[in-house]
Amino acid sequence: MSQERTEESGRKWWVAELADEVMPPGLTSPDLFVVAMPDGTFRLDYPANTPGVDEDERNLFRRPLGNGDIVNFLCCDDFGLIDISIGPSGTYGVHGSAEALAVITAGLPTHFWLPGDIDTLASSIEEFVNFYLENDPIKEPRTETVCMARWSDELPHKFEIARRKFCAVSQAEARQ
């Protein structure tokens, strides 16, 4: 899968060191974390007035950026919603658009959860159904709408000052 999806595809990026249960919002490109300073230097930061980011969060990772600096990013592809019909015995069925079902068939999502309930987070549909029934045993079948996403591993990027942007590099290049 390409690492260069567009905003419309639902890819968001974070500085890897911010990965936590509660994170500031993701941005649509690693390059958006490059902030030009009035003195001609650059720093790693959220752009001014980014909704949902407070000064404490900015201070967690804000730092100067120099040519060749390596920053690890994570990206998350939002694959939208699917419906899962769950039976009391653990049987289930998956229902959704052809695109959503193709994403599942391809094995792309790595995370499934009920919207707004991070405690239901699972790494597969089977695990989601098992967690669901452990926490809320049911007597009658029910259908739940579930979020799907894929989180990347850490992806190193090298800052190129002349281009004012980050370029993806391999793990080996990042260690040099």
Instruction: Report the first-to-last Cα separation within the chain, whole angstroms.
Output: 26
CA distance 79 to 84: 15
* DSSP-assigned letters across all residues of 103-138: HHHTT---EEEETTEEEEEESSHHHHHHHHHHHS--
Q: Tell me, yes or no, whether 28 lies in a domain.
A: yes
Q: Tell me, yes or no, whether 12 lies in a domain.
A: yes
Are residues 38 and 61 both part of a single domain? yes
Q: Tell me, yes or no, whether 2 lies in a domain.
A: no
Does the structure show a pLDDT above 60 at 5? no
Are residues 94 and 142 both part of a single domain? yes
Q: Tell me, yes or no, whether 1 lies in a domain.
A: no
* DSSP-assigned letters across all residues of 150-176: EE---EEEEEETTTTEEEE--HHHHH-
Are residues 161 and 118 both part of a single domain? no
Are residues 56 and 11 both part of a single domain? yes
| Tens digit of each residue's pLDDT (9 = 90 or more) over 51-61 | 888 888 888 78
Residue-level length of the chain: 176
Are residues 144 and 168 both part of a single domain? no
Are residues 39 and 90 both part of a single domain? no
Q: Domain range for residue 21?
A: 7-74+153-175
Are residues 12 and 61 both part of a single domain? yes
Are residues 69 and 128 both part of a single domain? no
| Tens digit of each residue's pLDDT (9 = 90 or more) over 80-100 | 999 999 999 999 999 999 999
* Total domain count, the chain: 2
pTM above 0.85, yes or no: no
Q: Tell me, yes or no, whether 128 lies in a domain.
A: yes
Are residues 89 and 137 both part of a single domain? yes
Reference 85, options 135, 128, 139, 144; nearest CA is 144
CA distance 172 to 176: 7
Are residues 157 and 146 both part of a single domain? no
| Tens digit of each residue's pLDDT (9 = 90 or more) over 119-158 | 899 999 999 999 999 998 999 999 999 999 999 999 999 9
CA distance 145 to 114: 7
